[in-house]
Amino acid sequence: MRPVWKENPSPGYQAIKALILGGFALVIVVPILVVISTSLASDKDIIDAGGYVLWPSHPTVKAYQTLFSGGLMGRAILVSVFVTIVGTAIALAVTIALAYATSRPVLFGRPVLLMVLFTLLFAPGIIPMFLVVKQLGLLDSLWSLILPGALGAFNFVVLRTFFMNVPGELLESARIDGASDFTILRRIIMPLSKAVIAVVGLFYAVGFWNAFFNALLYLNDTSKWPVQVILRTYVLQGKSLSADQLGVHPPPQPQSLQMAVVVVALVPIAMVYPFLQRHFTKGVITGAVKG
């Protein structure tokens, strides 16, 4: 409803607004659509269109079949899925425990909180991080992609702010009934915070799925490369996905293969996005920022 004090819309302003917002949205959507269409296009479509296809007139999933028949992509997906699932589980456990313990005035709560918040100010640096990971013997291990990301200070702040808003009386009454702190966390705090925990979990998962530099830094062994590094090597740097790696002769157009790699990196994000979007617009995140 238009409030009475607002001027009636002038067509000029309306047109400019629509142009800006519509243009911005198109610039985001079109490249993604072209990539998806090209990955589904047949060889003939690609040759006719001269490289990129806006709408595949003979859609085929040959590029995906080729991609998955070779060991390369299948392995990379397994690596990325493993890192994402295990990483998210560990990160959530660590973050929830720490956020709950520091959300109440308890022994060591204050100094530990300051310890976490201090990490927001700067990063320790690439070289010393590398040396620590090396000293721990984690080079060329998938744990090097998981453990250094096990606590995000921003996610910690989001959870802690939420936990602090759980009324103290509720916890008191549980304590009077004999509940321990562990029980309170498991039976009261976590069920009450399901939505925010889900959102933080998705933030972690997106982060683990998207992580690229850690893999570049810590992994030499190409068989342990996650999807993002494959994407960089075979699409961005244009190294050819040779028939041997793919195990199919003759391979389809390199263009559609490359675009299929892009889509593989994109799909998991696109799948969780509607859920993410529904929750963060409810103010879960901005509320935490303001607090």
Partner 1 sequence: MLKRTSSVARVKNGLPLKAKWRRDWQMVLLMIPGVVFLLVFFYLPVIGNVVAFQDFQPYLGIMHSEWNGLQNFVNLYANPDFWDALRNTLLLAAVQLLLFFPVPIGLALIVDSLVSNRFRRWFQTIAYLPHFLSWVLVVTLFQQSLGGAGFINNLLRQAGLDPIPFMTNPDTFPLLVVAQLIWKDAGWAMIIFLAALTTVDVSLYEAAAADGAGRWRRLWHITLPALRTVIVLLLILRIGDILSVGFEQFILQRDSVGPGAAEVLDTFTYYAGVVGGDWSSGAAAGLAKVVVGALLLWGANSLAHRLGEPGIFQRRS
Applying the rule CB under 8 A, the residues between 135 and 164 that interact with partner 1 are 136, 147-148, 150-151, 156
Contact region with partner 1 (CB under 8 A), list: 56-64, 66-74, 202-210, 245-253:
202-210
Minimum CB–partner distance for residue 25 and partner 1 (Å): 5
Q: Do 110 and 259 form a contact (C-beta atoms < 8 A)?
A: no
Q: Is 109 in the site for partner 1 (CB under 8 A)?
A: yes
Q: Is 165 in the site for partner 1 (CB under 8 A)?
A: no
Distance of CA 229 to the CA centre of its chain: 15
Contact region with partner 1 (CB under 8 A), list: 58-66, 158-166, 167-175, 244-252:
167-175
Q: Is 82 in the site for partner 1 (CB under 8 A)?
A: no
- What torsion, rounded to 10 degrees, do the Cα atoms 220, 222, 224, 227 define? 120
Contacts with partner 1, 119-138, as mask; x by CB under 8 A:
x-xxxxxxxxxxxx---x--
Residue keyed to tokens 């299929």: 260
C-alpha separations of 194 from 161, 168, 191 in Å: 14, 18, 5
Residue closer to partner 1 by CB (options 136, 195) is: 136
Selected from 216, 245, 248, 284, the binder of partner 1 by CB under 8 A is 216
Structure tokens at 24: 């911005």
The span from the CA of 158 to the CA of 288, in Å, is 5
By CB under 8 A, what part of segment 222-251 binds partner 1?
228-229, 231-232, 235-237
By CB under 8 A, what part of segment 260-279 binds partner 1?
262, 265-266, 269, 273, 276-277
Selected from 11, 12, 50, 191, the binder of partner 1 by CB under 8 A is 50
Q: Which distant-in-sequence residues (6+ apart) come within 8 Å of 179 by Cβ?
A: 187, 188
C-alpha separations of 20 from 10, 13, 14, 17, 25 in Å: 16, 11, 10, 5, 9
Q: Which distant-in-sequence residues (6+ apart) come within 8 Å of 276 by Cβ?
A: 199, 202, 203, 206
Selected from 11, 107, 177, 244, the binder of partner 1 by CB under 8 A is 107
By CB under 8 A, what part of segment 10-39 binds partner 1?
17, 20-21, 24-25, 27-29, 31-32, 34-35
Q: Is 84 in the site for partner 1 (CB under 8 A)?
A: no
